[in-house]
Amino acid sequence: MLNSSCRGVRMANDFSRYLAENSRFQSYLYSYPHKTAYRHFAEKIDLATLWQAERRNALFLYTHIPFCELKCAYCNLFTISKPQAELVERYLVQLSNEAEVLREVLGTFHFANYAVGGGTPSILSLPQLDSLFDIYTNVMGVDLQAVPGSFEVSPDTLDAEKIRYLAGRGIQRLSIGIQSFIEAEARAMGRVQPQAETDALLDGIANAGFPVFNLDLIYGIAGQTEESWLASLRRAVSFAPDELFLYPLYVRPLTALHRKTVALATHADIRRRLYALACDFLQARGYVQDSMRLFRRVASAPARSTEYSCQEDGMIGLGVNARSYTRDVHYSTEYAVAKANVAAIVQQYVDKPRAAFAQADYGIRLSEDDRRRRYLIKSILKAQGLERTHYREVFGTDAGSDFPDLDTLLQLGLAQQEGNFLRLTAEGMAHSDLIGHWFISPEVGHKMQEYVPR
Ligand SMILES: C[S@@+](CC[C@H](N)C(=O)[O-])C[C@H]1O[C@@H](n2cnc3c(N)ncnc32)[C@H](O)[C@@H]1O
Ligand code: SF4
């Protein structure tokens, strides 16, 4: 029997009260369980045994490059700025060693999709990018021209030559973080982005023929106004990106922004208004919403179809702090934000003996309840919604009985039933972070609360 609602026994109207009383900006659940719920396993897990029991014919390969030119004031991603050249070289060698071990661990396998993220993968030089892609083709057997892949870049690490190189490598989706087109706003967050240079790069990307060009912006930056936000949006759409990711600013412990607490009170609420403005602005310009953060241009060619289904299929993480997912076990290396701690974990990774890559020692075992919650969270927060028959096929039960709080979403007009799909309404989508947070299990929620940022 499932634990049907999170955080212990609750009254039916708890969820309504929770929705009414809390800020809609809680936390971003881009994966579940959150990495702050990971811990050292009591015993190391043998990866060959773990993966033998998994479907391995449509895996996702994620590679983490934990380096940036500059560390942005808001960023709590696992990355360090200005790495020593020698460290980057050693990191690439170690990626290759890890990939070789993983190839043995997996036996037979096929990657349906891949992503290179960070940090900022475009910090790598062209010869270093060659080394990285050699791992893909020679060790992991990924045909870069056939398998769809995504690659993250930042303006301060990109130039025309790298754009051409990445397009030539068959990258399907190029994603660039801009955050704000207003130079003063970008500078306030530690980013140097002169307008003329940024424009030239974005023109270069738009013309390079990537099937999907994504651009990230942030709203809720101190000093940002409705006018300056609209100005950023106007500039963004002038480059006709296929996708726009709009992130509400979250101020995280141990980031530079967190130390400037004075800024918080003023921008906390403007995010609601800026979100609403963006939805109207983009809808009027032919963008449809795929989630609270992702807007897609309707006229864009559909992304190459992929066999990968995020709720069910496995993910192989390559590199430090890259997560790997099987059905029951999620694992990675440790996570940190403070520079000295990130640097120490990166160093441990490059010093790791080869054999250690065949074992997992840090992560989380998902209970049956958490597998269902993961499915729910990963489907309901997207425009496509929760497909009830598919949920039943996977778990053998009805999502509505497992999660009675779904009824509350329907009653409050935050979701609607469309045929076989339960979908958030526009108002529900605006509350995605709050809704997602509610469905975290008591066990995972407890671990997240216990986690001490480091
Ligand atoms: C890996 S980064 C993107 C690539 C590249 N490193 C860059 O910044 O240009 C992913 C995105 O997450 C968003 N992001 C990171 N931390 C955030 C925070 N604390 N609040 C809001 N958005 C954040 C930013 O928009 C960022 O572009
Ligand atoms: S936002 Fe991007 S460039 Fe800035 S520190 Fe984070 S990963 Fe690096």
Q: Which mutation among 28, 64, 68, 187 tests ligand 2's pocket best, with the greatest number of atoms within 8 A of CB? A: 68
Q: What is the pLDDT of residues 52-95, one digit of tens each?
A: 999 999 999 999 999 999 999 999 999 999 999 999 999 999 99
Q: What is the pLDDT of residue 301?
A: 58
Q: How confident is the model at residue 37 (pLDDT cuts 50, 70, 90)?
A: very high
Residue 26 predicted with pLDDT over 50 = yes
**Do 60 and 112 meet the contact criterion of CB atoms below 8 Å apart?**
yes
> How many CB atoms sit inside 10 A of residue 352's CB?
15
Q: Which of 48, 84, 44, 49 is nearest to 67 (CA)?
A: 84
**pLDDT, the chain, mean:** 92
Ligand number nearest CA of 154 is 1
Q: Which pTM was predicted? A: 0.94
- Name all domains of the chain by residue range, CATH numbers in brackets: 1-29+381-454 (1.10.10), 43-297 (3.80.30.20)
What's the one-letter identity of residue 4?
Answer: S
Q: What is the pLDDT of residue 178?
A: 98
Q: What is the pLDDT of residue 269?
A: 76
Residue 165 CA to ligand 2 centre (angstroms): 22
Q: How confident is the model at residue 277 (pLDDT cuts 50, 70, 90)?
A: very high
Could you tell me what percent of the chain has a pLDDT over 70? 93
Residue 374 CA to ligand 2 centre (angstroms): 27
* DSSP 3-state of 304: coil
* Contacts of 124 by beta carbon, 8 Å cutoff, 6+ apart: 65, 88, 92, 132
Residue 98 predicted with pLDDT over 50 = yes
Which two tokens mark 15? 């969820």
* DSSP 3-state of 233: helix
In which residue are the tokens 């900022």 written?
120
> d(Cα 38, Cα 29) in Å, to the nearest integer?
14
Q: Which of 183, 130, 178 is nearest to 158 (CA)?
A: 178
> d(Cα 236, Cα 223) in Å, to the nearest integer?
19
* Contacts of 33 by beta carbon, 8 Å cutoff, 6+ apart: 330, 364, 366, 370, 374, 440, 444, 447
Q: What is the pLDDT of residue 313?
A: 72
Name the closest-CA residue to atom 8, ligand 1: 177
Residue 263 predicted with pLDDT over 80 = no
Q: How far apart are the first and last CA of the chain?
A: 37
Which ligand 1 atom minimizes the distance to the CA of 217?
A: 25
* DSSP 3-state of 218: strand
Residue 244 predicted with pLDDT over 80 = yes
Residue 47 CA to ligand 1 centre (angstroms): 31
Q: What is the pLDDT of residue 261?
A: 61
Q: What is the pLDDT of residue 1?
A: 30
Residue 237 predicted with pLDDT over 80 = yes
**Do 68 and 79 meet the contact criterion of CB atoms below 8 Å apart?**
yes
Residue 233 predicted with pLDDT over 90 = yes
Which ligand 2 atom minimizes the distance to the CA of 177?
A: 2
> d(Cα 7, Cα 446) in Å, to the nearest integer?
8
Q: What is the pLDDT of residues 106-126, one digit of tens each?
A: 999 999 999 999 999 999 999
> d(Cα 114, Cα 21) in Å, to the nearest integer?
40
CA distance readout (Å), 251 to 73, 176, 188, 216 = 9, 21, 14, 17
Q: What is the pLDDT of residues 281-336, one digit of tens each?
A: 999 999 999 999 999 998 775 554 445 455 567 999 999 999 999 999 999 999 99
Q: What is the pLDDT of residue 394?
A: 95
Q: What is the pLDDT of residues 390-404, one digit of tens each?
A: 999 999 999 999 999
Q: How confident is the model at residue 10 (pLDDT cuts 50, 70, 90)?
A: low
Q: What is the pLDDT of residue 29?
A: 83
Average pLDDT over residues 195-224: 96
Strands 173-179 and 212-219: parallel
Could you tell me what percent of the chain has a pLDDT over 90? 85
Q: Which mutation among 77, 180, 321, 335 tests ligand 1's pocket best, with the greatest number of atoms within 8 A of CB? A: 77
Which ligand 1 atom minimizes the distance to the CA of 251?
A: 19
Q: What is the pLDDT of residue 5?
A: 41
Spell out a b/e string for 35-47, using b for 16 or more CB atoms within 10 Å of the CB, else e.
bbbbeebeeebeb
Q: Which of 79, 141, 113, 121 is nearest to 320 (CA)?
A: 79
